[in-house]
Structure formats: C-alpha cells, structure tokens
Amino acid sequence: MNKQWPSTKMREPILVSACLLGLPTRYDGKAKRSQAVIDYLQRENLLPIPVCPEQLAGMSTPREKTFFHSGDGHAVLVGHGKVISVHGQSMNEVFCLGAKLTLQIARLSHCDRVLFKERSPSCGVHQMYRGDECVHGVGVTTALLNSNGFEVISEEDL
C-alpha cells in the first residue's frame, strides 16, 4: 500500500490535473507537481483521480503547444471560439473530445469537485492564453465541467 495516501475508506474523490500530481503529462513532457495540491488532498482526506484531457483525447506527450485564438472554453463548446496549435491547426475537435471524456471519468468516479492546472487550454479555471497573452477565461474542459454542475478550482485557489 502507498504510504503517502491514507486508506481510501470514506475518502471523497476529486478530479485532479495529472501534471499537478507529478505525472509528466504537460505539452512539453514535464510535470508541474504542486506540494500545495498534495498537502491539500491529504489535509482534506481527498482521493485524487488524475486526468489529462489532452492525453485522453489521444494527443501525444510531448505535443505541440496550443492556445486560444479566439474566445475561451465556453465559446469553443458552442462553436464560436478557437483553440489552435502553434502551427495554426484547429484543435477544437480534439479539445472537445478530451473534455467529454473527462466529464465521463468525473461521473464514473463520483467526483463533485475538480482541481485543475491554471492557464491550460483544457484546464484553466480563471486564466488562459490567447496567443502569448494571459487573459481572463476558462479552458475547454473546465467550461464543460462547470456547465454540468462541477465545482472547479485551480492550484492557485488553495
């Protein structure tokens, strides 16, 4: 048994960006392990369910950097926004698929809460990149989870 986490008995599941848990799932093949996230999960006796929407959609790691060309996650879901790769390829279909698969995992895992990586085009909770500029907005997966009643916070909310 892993000594880092207490028993799963009576632990509330929470969806967590895999990179925050130390898994190398980011576009650049790196992790963004957050000790604050680990401490929060342990303190609150939460069971982390690691996800990477982009990997779930079939994207490789490492992969091309992506960002919003227009709109945010909500706009992408209704067909008005656009996520593109650094080479200008539309990534809307892939990001929407990753969001839908993440929603399925959240439901299957009985998660009510989500803890995501800020500024990610999938997981951004308060901020995201439009080109090279960091702006207010949400990622595609966060938008879908929010619209389905999930509470989504970022590591910066802890």
Please give the full DSSP string across 36-55, using - where no structure is assigned.
Answer: HHHHHHHHTTEEEEEE-HHH
User: How many angstroms separate the CA atoms of 90 and 71, rounded?
Assistant: 13
Retrieve residue 145's tokens.
């989870």
pTM score above 0.85: yes
8-34 pLDDT per residue, tens: 567 999 999 999 999 999 999 999 999
Q: Is-contact 77 121, C-beta < 8 A?
A: no
30-53 pLDDT per residue, tens: 999 999 999 999 999 999 999 999
Structural domain spans, the chain: 12-157
- Look at residue 5 in the predicted model and tell me its pLDDT: 56
pLDDT mean over 85-103: 98
pLDDT mean over 70-83: 98
pLDDT mean over 69-73: 98
- Look at residue 111 in the predicted model and tell me its pLDDT: 96
- Look at residue 65 in the predicted model and tell me its pLDDT: 96
Confidence of residue 1 (pLDDT cuts 50, 70, 90): very low
